[in-house]
Amino acid sequence: MATAEEIKARAREIMAQDLPEDYNPDLKDDEPLIVEGGVDSLGFIQVLTKLEVEFNAHVPDEEWWDAQSLDALAEVILRNQH
């Protein structure tokens, strides 16, 4: 099973690769992705769905917006792994 640190590191890699113009490499783990991270709502969904596939998780739609920071994103992925 993955750790929160592994999930956050992979999320950063995905954002840097897929959203290079918007990604803020100085983003702190507890800062909002959409505001401080430069990630828009479509980019957020892209990052979340890639993490779901890579970490064998299924985050219910009603929990998506609970994942507003890297910390929270790792938590919902861990909570919803199969």
State which fold the 4-79 domain adopts. 1.10.1200
| Structure tokens that stand for 37 in this block | 């991270």
pTM of the model: 0.92
Residue 19 has pLDDT above 80, yes or no: yes
Confirm if 68 and 36 have CB atoms less than 8 A apart. Answer: no
pLDDT tens-digit series, residues 42-70: 889 999 999 999 999 999 999 988 899 99
Domain locations along the chain: 4-79
